[in-house]
Amino acid sequence: MTDEKRSADSILTALRTWASAPPRTPAAEAARQVRARVAAGRTRASRGAAWAWRLAAASAVAATVAAATLLWRAPGPSPPPPVAVDAPPVLPDNVVVFWLDAETPVYFVVGPPADPPGGTP
């Protein structure tokens, strides 16, 4: 026999001897002890779970308040209206504009400019 085989046999023999011995605690007493430990574990776990839920709720509220504070901004002044780039120039009353196409204006002066108010100096 090898050393491993002898070691395995001795372990099996010790296990059989231990299994054939009578129990140290009667079955009813052992069951009562197990039930008491399970109930104590549930109470301890439920306290821990309640603490964890409270912590999670407080963290969620804090994160929501922080996000709302960072993202909320008071409305600022409205921007000025954009300048119309494509608006035609302001022309005097004696000038007429004809457009040959979308990019080519033709200006016609139809008479002398009007006298300034109050006559000529």
Q: Where are the domains of the chain?
A: 22-71
Distance CA 109, CA 97 (A): 9
Between 85 and 58, whose confidence is greater? 58
Model's pTM, two decimal places? 0.28
List pLDDT tens digits, range 63-94. Answer: 999 998 888 877 778 888 877 666 667 888 88
Q: Distances in Å between the alpha carbon of 41 and those of 45, 63, 66?
A: 6, 32, 37
Between 35 and 2, whose confidence is greater? 35
In the chain, DSSP assigns E strands to 95-101, 104-109
CA atoms within 13 A on the CB side of 46: 6
